[in-house]
């Protein structure tokens, strides 16, 4: 009779181990999926940059430093390591360069009225919204995954199967500053 109790306890422990392991795998896969969504949106933004630069060149050819900054930021984004920290650094550089580029639209009324520029600006704005959503989803997924890794008793299972924590997609301090507007 006692062996039935022992067998039942062992069966419950094995079932819990399987459920906890599968939960960790699902959470890790959710993080990977969320990361791929960020990657897709960042690549989408990178692909829009050449058309935007060519449109601006026609109207503001003497704004070479701004155009070069955008091109350099795009190249840095393409070459950035596929890690949250590497992509966040490239994202910050790209955001700053795009802000400068869109500021040219204010300085050049003809450019601001150009339908190609307006369409590309709208597309980039929509893409920025998608990137922001993808970042939020990724960071939420990382939070959930890391919480599972650090919670008892799954921390034991995570250690046994070498599950590693993931890092958040974070911006740097400079990109959090509120831009100064002067009239």
Residue 92 domain-assigned (yes or no): yes
Residue 30 domain-assigned (yes or no): no
Predicted TM-score (pTM) of the model is 0.80
Q: With CA atoms as reference, report the closest residue to 93 among 82, 81, 77.
A: 77
Residue 72 domain-assigned (yes or no): yes
Q: Spell 163-173 as b/e; 16+ CB within 10 A means b.
A: beebeebeeee
Mean pLDDT of the chain, nearest integer = 88
* Structural domain span for residue 171: 40-176
Residue 183 domain-assigned (yes or no): no
Residue 14 domain-assigned (yes or no): no
Residue 53 domain-assigned (yes or no): yes
Q: Residues, the chain, total?
A: 183
Name which of 11-15, 55-59, 132-136, 174-178 the model is least confident about.
174-178
The number of folded domains in the chain is 1
pLDDT, tens digit (0-9, with 9 covering 90-100), for 7-40: 999 999 999 999 999 999 999 999 999 999 999 9
Residue 118 domain-assigned (yes or no): yes
Residue 157 domain-assigned (yes or no): yes
- Of the chain, the percentage scoring pLDDT greater than 90 comes to 57
pLDDT, tens digit (0-9, with 9 covering 90-100), for 162-180: 999 999 998 765 555 544 4
52 in Cβ contact with 128 (< 8 Å)? no
């Amino acid at each position: 009779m006692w062996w039935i109790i022992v067998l039942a306890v062992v069966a419950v422990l094995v079932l819990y181990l399987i459920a906890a392991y599968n939960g960790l795998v699902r959470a890790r896969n959710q993080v990977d999926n969320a990361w791929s969504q960020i990657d897709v949106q960042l690549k989408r933004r990178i692909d829009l940059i050449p058309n935007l630069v060519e449109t601006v060149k026609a109207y503001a050819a003497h704004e070479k430093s701004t155009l070069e900054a955008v091109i350099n930021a795009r190249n840095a984004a393409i070459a950035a390591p596929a890690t949250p920290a590497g992509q966040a650094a490239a994202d910050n550089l790209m955001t700053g360069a795009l802000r400068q580029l869109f500021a040219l639209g204010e300085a050049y009324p003809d450019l601001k009225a150009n339908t190609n520029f307006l369409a590309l600006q709208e597309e980039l704005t929509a893409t920025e919204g998608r990137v922001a959503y993808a970042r939020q989803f990724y960071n939420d997924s990382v939070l959930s995954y890391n919480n599972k890794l650090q919670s008892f008793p799954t921390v034991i299972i995570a250690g046994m199967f070498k599950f590693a924590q993931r890092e958040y997609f974070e911006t740097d301090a400079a990109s959090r500053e509120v831009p100064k507007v002067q009239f």
